[in-house]
A and B are shown apart, each in its own frame.
Chain A
Amino acid sequence: MSTRTGAAQRPNGSTQGKICQFKLVLLGESAVGKSSLVLRFVKGQFHEYQESTIGAAFLTQTVCLDDTTVKFEIWDTAGQERYHSLAPMYYRGAQAAIVVYDITNQDTFGRAKTWVKELQRQASPTIVIALAGNKQDLANKRMVEYEEAQTYADENGLLFIETSAKTAMNVNDIFLAIVDELDENVEVPGPNSNKLSKFSLLNKTVGVLSKALFAKIVFPISINRKDSIISCDPSL
């Protein structure tokens, strides 16, 4: 599936710059918080007990960046090992993946590495991979050190950030960092600087996010993938 770019009409009739649409997949061990991260990003909600996902769930979210509207098509997959054989259909053709682990569980970090390896071997060579260490609110029970994950991410050219779907910490940021990373690879007319501070979420259920939230994005990003190419379809 390609990222489509083209002119779009705003509700008030003025012409928007362009629309980018891309497919993103969440992978990771069962109960690390994949569905919770998506629910937080898409609906601004958190459920202490999120139903276990069978097969996969599909959600969308749209965000605005300068004159660009970005539509995420999000595939939230089942975590249990035996659902693994169904995973390729979800990451096939995806422009981005968030591989999630639980910072309080070392095994889930190992599983995350396995997913990264599989993506590097079998997904699109231009896929942007973000590693998310979730449940940061439980840092007092931490079993995976931040530095360990950061080093691993650096070595493998991954975006890396610790998140908490519960407190919302860094949740929007990881999705937006992915856009930023994808954007690096697209020819975007107009000013490119300080993009993140100009993001606003369109989805009303999320509520208005302050610019300050996005301005404070200073998380460590290791970018080694400058070779990604996103096809543009101006006909949209």
Chain B
Amino acid sequence: MMAKSSYSKVDEYGFERPTNFNYELYDHFMSSYIRVLTRRAQRWNTLKYDIYKKPSTLKRFIRKGIPSDIRTAAWMHISGAEDIKNSSTFTYRTMKQKISNQSIIDIIEIDLPRTFPDNIYFSSHEHLPGMLFNVLATFAHQNKEVSYCQGLNYIVGLLLLATKDEESSFWLLKILVEKILPQYYIVTMTGLLTDLDVLDELVHKYEPLVHRHIHNIGMPWAMGTTKWFICLFSEVLPTETVFRIWDCLFYEGSKIIFRVALTLIRLHKDKILQTSELGELITCFREMKNHPSVINCHQFMNDIFKLSGNLSNSTIDKLRIKYGKKKL
């Protein structure tokens, strides 16, 4: 499936490649990545369910990539989505039947054709927009605090492309929004604003020159990176790279977002420092998806775990408390 796409103008998930896409580089990457994928599939296949019993092996395996054909089951298992599904009082089907609030229905319906309009699966698959609606509307009805937040449409869109399954996409969305990500999508978006401050402190620690430059130019982090947090890099990085990130996000939690963010900034350090005004800087952030190291998702995932220093969930949580309090 992936081999065929190496010369196609559309990637294996139905997205058009950028007009300036470097096919030569991609082909070079894919010739080695296919071997990686084959090997990973064999390794996962050998261990089968035993893999979930050994946390250290599991973490290493997940960081090297979950094979796409078992991704749905693996995501459900490692994220805890399977558990909340099994312990839930209501089935997905019953919750879906409760969709009734017309204003929620209207606002989601407006966004359906505006979600990945250029993706060949979303534009040609007759059921996909309906599945997208069902997941978003069911979620909105059962979580009154979040209801529907723009940006979730892209996350569910990618979940559907990865899992091809409406119900799994619902539970994965639920675990993401309610457990893994802190308060990003509520009406005040407090969690997002806090994490932007956390990012600021981490950049100051890891890349002080970049930090000073960005402050000199006067770019609030929200301008360059809101989509990183809200869309979890969908629409920001190549799809395969996004799914590799999500593999780790589902298992290790939201600290992964900061590793990715810091790695992106580190990879683009020279370019960022060469910018002299806000427009240039924003453009630099917007074009990060074209960096060769970002397209080579296997290398990129290696890079994000090479960041030294303590980036554990407890470190991040401490920073969240520090900046979260400030906002109260």
Q: Is B187 part of the binding interface, using a Cβ–Cβ cutoff of 8 Å?
A: yes
Query: By the criterion CB–CB under 8 Å, are A54 and B235 in contact?
Result: yes
Q: Which residues does chain B contribute within 8 Å of A73, judged by CB atoms?
A: 278-279
Query: By the criterion CB–CB under 8 Å, are B114 and A54 in contact?
Result: no
Query: By the criterion CB–CB under 8 Å, are A55 and B222 in contact?
Result: yes
| Mask of B213-257 contacts with A, CB within 8 angstroms, 1/0 | 000000010110011001100010000000000000000000000
Q: Is B133 part of the binding interface, using a Cβ–Cβ cutoff of 8 Å?
A: no
Q: A30-B110, A89-B220 are in contact. Are A82 and B226 (CB under 8 A)?
A: no
Q: Is A187 part of the binding interface, using a Cβ–Cβ cutoff of 8 Å?
A: no
A22 → B minimal CB distance (Å): 12
Stretch in contact with the other chain, from A6-14, A45-53, A199-207, A211-219 = A45-53
Q: Which residues does chain A contribute within 8 Å of B231, judged by CB atoms?
A: 54
Q: A82-B187, A89-B220 are in contact. Are A54 and B193 (CB under 8 A)?
A: no
Q: Is B312 part of the binding interface, using a Cβ–Cβ cutoff of 8 Å?
A: no
Query: By the criterion CB–CB under 8 Å, are B188 and A54 in contact?
Result: no
Per DSSP, chain A at the interface is loop
Residues A44-75 near B (CB distance < 8 A): 47-52, 54-56, 58, 60, 73
Name the one of B114, B154, B227 contacting A31, with C-beta atoms under 8 angstroms: B114
A39 → B minimal CB distance (Å): 13
Q: Is B45 part of the binding interface, using a Cβ–Cβ cutoff of 8 Å?
A: no
Q: Which residues does chain B contribute within 8 Å of A60, judged by CB atoms?
A: 279
Q: How far is the CA of A88 from the CA of B193 in the complex (A)?
A: 14
The tally of CB-CB contacts under 8 A between chains A and B is 70
Q: Which residues does chain B contribute within 8 Å of A86, judged by CB atoms?
A: 189, 222, 226
Stretch in contact with the other chain, from B5-13, B145-153, B316-324 = B145-153
Residues A79-121 near B (CB distance < 8 A): 79-83, 85-86, 89-90
A142 → B minimal CB distance (Å): 19
Residues B109-144 near A (CB distance < 8 A): 110-111, 113-117
Query: By the criterion CB–CB under 8 Å, are A85 and B111 in contact?
Result: no
Q: How far is the CA of A71 from the CA of B111 in the complex (A)?
A: 32
Q: Is A78 part of the binding interface, using a Cβ–Cβ cutoff of 8 Å?
A: yes
Q: How far is the CA of A94 from the CA of B151 in the complex (A)?
A: 26
B215 → A minimal CB distance (Å): 14
Q: Is B34 part of the binding interface, using a Cβ–Cβ cutoff of 8 Å?
A: no
A156 → B minimal CB distance (Å): 28
Q: How far is the CA of A81 from the CA of B186 in the complex (A)?
A: 11
B160 → A minimal CB distance (Å): 16
Q: How far is the CA of A52 from the CA of B230 in the complex (A)?
A: 13
Which of B114, B220, B230 is the most central at the interface, judged by chain A CB atoms within 10 Å of its CB? B114
Q: Which residues does chain A contribute within 8 Å of B153, judged by CB atoms?
A: 52
Name the one of A47, A80, A81 contacting B117, with C-beta atoms under 8 angstroms: A47
B220 → A minimal CB distance (Å): 5
Q: How far is the CA of A75 from the CA of B158 in the complex (A)?
A: 27
Name the one of B115, B186, B189 contacting A52, with C-beta atoms under 8 angstroms: B115
Residues B172-231 near A (CB distance < 8 A): 185-189, 193, 220, 222-223, 226-227, 230-231
A46 → B minimal CB distance (Å): 12
Question: Which of chain A's residues has its CB closest to B153's CB?
Answer: A52
Name the one of A51, A56, A58 contacting B283, with C-beta atoms under 8 angstroms: A58
Q: How far is the CA of A103 from the CA of B188 in the complex (A)?
A: 29
Q: Which residues does chain B contribute within 8 Å of A48, judged by CB atoms?
A: 113
Query: By the criterion CB–CB under 8 Å, are A52 and B111 in contact?
Result: yes
Query: By the criterion CB–CB under 8 Å, are A54 and B279 in contact?
Result: no
Q: Which residues does chain A contribute within 8 Å of B189, judged by CB atoms?
A: 82-83, 85-86
Query: By the criterion CB–CB under 8 Å, are B223 and A82 in contact?
Result: no
Q: A83-B189, A89-B222 are in contact. Are A52 and B282 (CB under 8 A)?
A: no
Q: Which residues does chain A contribute within 8 Å of B226, judged by CB atoms?
A: 54-56, 86
Q: Is B107 part of the binding interface, using a Cβ–Cβ cutoff of 8 Å?
A: yes
Q: Is B286 part of the binding interface, using a Cβ–Cβ cutoff of 8 Å?
A: yes
Question: Which of chain B's residues has its CB closest to A50's CB?
Answer: B114
Q: A54-B235, A55-B222, A55-B230 are in contact. Are A83 and B279 (CB under 8 A)?
A: no
Q: Which residues does chain A contribute within 8 Å of B115, judged by CB atoms?
A: 51-52
Q: Which residues does chain A contribute within 8 Å of B107, judged by CB atoms?
A: 30
Q: What are 13 A-B pairs with beta-carbon distances under 8 A? A: A30-B107, A31-B110, A49-B114, A50-B114, A52-B111, A52-B150, A54-B227, A56-B223, A80-B150, A82-B149, A82-B187, A82-B189, A86-B226
On A, residues with C-beta under 8 Å from B are 1, 30-31, 47-52, 54-56, 58, 60, 73, 78-83, 85-86, 89-90
**What 7 A-B pairs come out closest when comparing CB atoms?**
A55-B226, A49-B117, A49-B113, A58-B282, A80-B150, A52-B114, A54-B151
Known: A1-B278, A55-B223, A83-B189. 15 other contacts (CB 8 A): A31-B114, A47-B117, A49-B117, A50-B117, A51-B115, A51-B235, A54-B150, A54-B151, A54-B226, A73-B278, A79-B150, A80-B149, A82-B189, A85-B189, A89-B222
